[in-house]
Amino acid sequence: MKDNYIKPEGLVRFKGKKRNIILVILESMESTFLSRQSGGIYDQQLIPQLEYIANHSDSLHFSHKKGKMGGAFEFLRTSYTGGSSYSMICADILGFQNRVINQNQDTMFHPNVKCISDILRENGYKNLAIFGAPYSSCHQGFIFSTHGFSREDIYSSFDYSNSFDWVRDYVTLDFAKKQLTKVSQQGQPFFAVVMTLDTHAPGLTCPYCRRTANRQIDTIMCSDRQVTKFVEWIKQQPFYEDTVVMLQGDHEMMYPELDSRSHRERYKRTLFNAIFNSKLRPEAGTTRNYSVFDVGPTLLAAAGATIKGIN
């Protein structure tokens, strides 16, 4: 970070009509779950619908492999949801999870770092964040409120009597549809972050999931269907024409069976990604080594912003 971080102040410019940005952060969603033929590690297709839409003609998918699907590499400080989501919007490191908890709350989320949410707000964007967990869970609420999100636009557990229970994804995504419809009618561009939770270990099933002996696999397959339906809903909305959408896994799944399988097969695990309705097409989508630190600049470029020295 010391040698490669570039302060974004004065580097980002918007020309013409500003496009909306929707970032869907997928809990523990790996490209590992793709079919073996496409670059995954399983013989069966665990996420066939996400695999299909990521390969659609209007989609972008970045892979570290040639001819196969892959994804983003995980680092130690991005191996938990708070650290990963912070790095996505700030291209910076938050710190180790146990150390973050013990830091001064006024400085622990780096208020002096300018994140894409700060940049977008300065350029007239409305920011909103939606996640079905308590405000303080994985520090999410504090991360957003420190970086360009008003408290009233951070929807955590949807204020269900200050519940400390996690809300299932089918409820979260339905709530997100209503908020996206509402914000799209307010006459200003918006940046929305929507986060899923059900695939967190050991797997949080809902009435729409199949029930087998392997609850973790059940939730992966359930998330595949629900997230794909959410993306298809977005594509049908009037605001989609002026909107770029990105799906990005946050970190590797904490799943012992997957650890042993990948070690046995010497398989490099990476995080799933897909971008829809991008303003730009990349020079190359494969053999690209990247991480969640690259999500912010990628979203800005996909939305049509110019970044000095890059595009």
CATH number at residue 246: 3.40.720.10
Name the token pair of 16: 């013409």
Confirm whether 58 is domain-assigned: yes
**Host domain of residue 268:** 19-307
Asked if residue 3 belongs to a domain, the reply is: no
Q: Say what the pLDDT of residue 159 is.
A: 56
DSSP track, 123-143:
TTPEEEEEESS-TTGGGHHHH
**What pLDDT does residue 166 have?**
86
Quickly count: other Cβ atoms within 10 Å of residue 11's Cβ: 17
97 falls in which pLDDT band (50, 70, 90)? low
As for how many domains the chain has, the answer is 1
> What's the mean pLDDT in 267-287?
87
User: Between residues 287 and 161, which one has the greater pLDDT?
Assistant: 287
Q: Among 208-222, 258-272, 277-291, whose mean pLDDT is lowest?
A: 277-291
Residue 12 lies in a domain: no
Rounded to 5°, angle at Cα 304 from 302 and 306: 105
- Residue type for 210, please? R
The arithmetic mean of pLDDT across residues 66-92, rounded, is 93
Assess if residue 170 is contained within a domain. yes
Using CA atoms, how far residue 139 sits from 8, 103, 129, 134, 300, in Å, is 24, 12, 13, 9, 24
pLDDT at 52: 95
d(CA 216, CA 259): 14
pLDDT-above-70 percentage for the chain: 93
- pLDDT at position 104 is 58
pLDDT digits (tens, 9 = 90+) for 190-243: 999 999 999 999 999 999 999 998 999 999 999 999 999 999 999 999 999 999
Residue 271 tokens read as: 């995080």
Chain centre distance of CA 128 = 14
Residue 5 belongs to some domain of the structure: no
| 139 pLDDT tier (thresholds 50, 70, 90) | confident
More reliable by pLDDT, 123 or 284: 123
Q: What is the pLDDT of residue 84?
A: 96
Q: Is residue 2 part of a domain?
A: no
Establish if 204 belongs to a structural domain: yes
Structural domain includes residue 234? yes
